């Protein structure tokens, strides 16, 4: 059994588009990407199942003419899982839209802090070779102000409003 080159190309396009959309910052694009990946998985399972054949009933068809029902069962399971995940993500996107007014995924303050700490460690490990770095002291001061403002806002939100008193 060989795979049809057209189906292989269609699967490659579906998976490429799906993964590209998942990497975006908009939640609606992420949801569409997951739906496209679900369709790609279903198509892959059907292609892997082989050509159509006779139903699997003992005594009604020759053994070599019977098809394996497992890919069809897996495709049905994948459809159900994709539907459930899509509804969950749509609810999250709706909630994000209502609370924030947009569906963009925001940067995590903790990720920025960790990245800044890693950059500081790399600068210390690099020694005095500041000629290689293109960032000036002004650039790092701006990022420090942004990080401290974001962490202060996150701290007041996590304290339950105690910082506002």
pLDDT for 62: 75
- d(C-alpha 19, C-alpha 34), whole Å: 8
Report how far Cα 99 is from the mean position of its chain's Cα atoms.
Answer: 22
Residue segments in the chain with a per-residue pLDDT below the cut of 50: 136-165
DSSP 24: S
pLDDT for 14: 95
pLDDT for 162: 44
pLDDT for 151: 46
- d(C-alpha 101, C-alpha 95), whole Å: 9
User: pLDDT tens digit string along 39-74?
Assistant: 999 999 888 887 777 777 767 777 777 787 888 888
CATH code of the domain made up of 5-100: 1.10.287
Q: Are 131 and 139 in contact (CB under 8 A)?
A: no
Residue extents of the structural domains in the chain: 5-100, 109-164
Reference 19, options 6, 34, 2; nearest CA is 34
Is the pTM above the cut of 0.85? no
pLDDT for 80: 93
Long-range Cβ contact pairs of 141-149 (< 8 A, separation 24 or more): 143/116, 144/116, 146/112, 147/109, 147/112, 147/113, 147/116
Q: Residue 75, Cβ neighbours under 10 Å: how many? A: 18
């Amino acid at each position: 059994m060989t795979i049809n080159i057209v189906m292989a190309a269609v699967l490659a396009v579906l998976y490429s588009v799906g993964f590209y959309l998942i990497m975006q910052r908009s939640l609606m694009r992420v949801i569409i990407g997951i739906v496209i990946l679900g369709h790609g998985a279903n198509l892959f399972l059907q292609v892997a199942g082989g050509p159509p054949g006779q139903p699997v009933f003992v005594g009604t068809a020759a053994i070599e003419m019977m098809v394996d029902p497992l890919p069809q069962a897996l495709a049905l399971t994948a459809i159900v899982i994709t539907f459930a995940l899509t509804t969950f993500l749509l609810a999250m996107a709706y909630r994000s839209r209502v609370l924030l007014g947009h569906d963009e995924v925001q940067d995590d303050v903790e990720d920025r802090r960790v990245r800044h700490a890693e950059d500081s460690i790399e600068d210390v490990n690099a020694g005095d070779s500041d000629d290689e770095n293109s960032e000036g002291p002004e650039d790092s001061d701006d990022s420090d102000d942004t990080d401290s403002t974001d962490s202060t806002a996150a701290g007041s939100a996590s304290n339950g409003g105690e910082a506002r008193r």
